[in-house]
């Protein structure tokens, strides 16, 4: 449609006597709204981007940590430095968006940042487990998040669900390479050993006892169902692997890896 004059906001220029059509009675109001909406969209996009970067860095952390072989021990220096490097990067990502998530906006953009926080939870809880053979508490995890970024109960739980998948992989790889299930002494001077399978089973029973029916279709209720299934499959895989190791282990050459044909995709899916 040639010949139609438009203002910079795209509205047709009025040819009538009141040639100030774009400056109608409501324009000042809408200009305020435009400013607010623009700010909102910018914030939202910054957060989405940071969330993606944090997710990617967390995954790399987890890859590095999967090369650890001993439980309840210090992380080997090379891996530790890799993880540290990623953690520093993530800390600055978080710090950059902390102002965008301040106060009332923490929950406003919760859906946008949630993915990154869950993946971060997975990484720090995995590291915590490797170091201490313990499940990180909500308080401990919150402290590992930079100031101003809130860790919701939902993100915490969903991160822990994903942790089970990492523990499964860690258990099976360790079994395959060292021929034994990772575990450690229960306490100083105690002869009792606690292995990763016991831990996984305890996690499973704890999860199963969690009653999320009240959540309905919102947030937690929606995701838990799917994650619960994946979590159970993970625990069962370790159980099967341990069974195989005990019953047939001696007949097998060292370094044999249990059949893992189809287990990667559902665990890491996002």
Q: Residues in the site for another protein, rule: CB under 8 A? A: 9-11, 14-16, 21-22, 24-27, 29-34, 36-38, 41, 102-108, 110, 133-135, 137-138, 153, 156-157, 186-187, 192, 194, 198-199, 201-203, 206, 209-212, 214-216, 218, 220
The total of other beta-carbon atoms located within 10 Å of residue 51's CB is 23
In this complex, which beta carbon is closest to another protein, that of residue 15 or of residue 254?
15
Q: How far is the CB of 61 from another protein (least distance, A)?
A: 21
The total of other beta-carbon atoms located within 10 Å of residue 200's CB is 22
139: Cα within 13 Å, side-chain hemisphere: 0
Q: How far is the CB of 268 from another protein (least distance, A)?
A: 23
Q: How far is the CB of 157 from another protein (least distance, A)?
A: 6
In this complex, which beta carbon is closest to another protein, that of residue 107 or of residue 243?
107
Q: How far is the CB of 4 from another protein (least distance, A)?
A: 13
Whole-number Å distance between alpha carbons of 240 and 259: 10
Q: How far is the CB of 188 from another protein (least distance, A)?
A: 13
Three-state secondary structure along the chain? CCCCCECCCCCECCCCCCCCHHHCCCHHHHHHHHHHHHHHHHHHHHHHHHHHHHHHHHHHHHHHHCCCCCCCCCCCHHHHHHHHHHHHHHHHHHHHHHHHHCCCHHHHCHHHHHHHHHHHHHHHHHHHHHHHCCCCCHHHHHHHCCCCCCCCHHHHHHHHHHHHHHHHHHHHHHHHHHCCCCEEECCCCCCCEEEHHHHHHHHHHHHHHCCCHHHCCCCHHHHHHHHHHHHHHHHHHHHHHHHHHHHHHHHCCCCCCCCCCCCHHHHHCC
Q: How far is the CB of 2 from another protein (least distance, A)?
A: 20
In this complex, which beta carbon is closest to another protein, that of residue 90 or of residue 141?
141
In this complex, which beta carbon is closest to another protein, that of residue 53 or of residue 140?
140
In this complex, which beta carbon is closest to another protein, that of residue 218 or of residue 269?
218
Q: How far is the CB of 127 from another protein (least distance, A)?
A: 15
In this complex, which beta carbon is closest to another protein, that of residue 86 or of residue 128?
128
In this complex, which beta carbon is closest to another protein, that of residue 55 or of residue 152?
152
């Amino acid at each position: 449609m040639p010949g139609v004059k438009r203002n910079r906001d795209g509205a047709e220029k009025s040819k009538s006597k009141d040639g100030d059509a774009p400056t109608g009675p409501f324009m000042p109001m809408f200009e305020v709204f435009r400013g607010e909406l623009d700010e909102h969209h910018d914030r939202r996009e910054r957060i989405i981007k940071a969330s993606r970067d944090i997710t990617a860095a967390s995954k790399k952390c987890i890859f590095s940590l999967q090369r650890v072989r001993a439980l309840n021990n210090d992380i080997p220096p090379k891996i530790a430095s890799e993880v540290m490097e990623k953690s520093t990067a993530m800390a600055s990502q978080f710090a950059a968006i902390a102002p965008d998530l301040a106060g009332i906006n923490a929950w406003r953009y919760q859906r946008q940042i949630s993915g990154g926080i869950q993946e971060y939870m997975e990484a720090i809880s995995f590291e915590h487990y490797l170091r201490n053979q313990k499940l990180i508490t909500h308080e401990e995890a919150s402290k590992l998040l930079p100031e101003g970024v809130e860790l919701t109960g939902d993100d915490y739980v969903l991160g822990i669900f994903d942790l089970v998948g990492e523990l499964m992989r860690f258990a099976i790889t360790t079994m395959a390479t060292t021929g034994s299930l990772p575990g450690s002494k229960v306490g100083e001077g105690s002869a009792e050993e606690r292995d990763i399978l016991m831990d996984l089973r305890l996690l499973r029973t704890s999860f199963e006892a969690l009653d999320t029916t009240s959540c309905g279709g919102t947030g937690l209720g929606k995701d838990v169902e799917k994650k619960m299934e994946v979590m159970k499959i993970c625990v069962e895989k370790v159980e099967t692997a341990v069974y195989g190791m005990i019953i047939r282990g001696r007949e097998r050459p060292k370094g044999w890896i249990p059949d893992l044909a189809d287990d990667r995709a559902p665990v890491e899916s996002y």
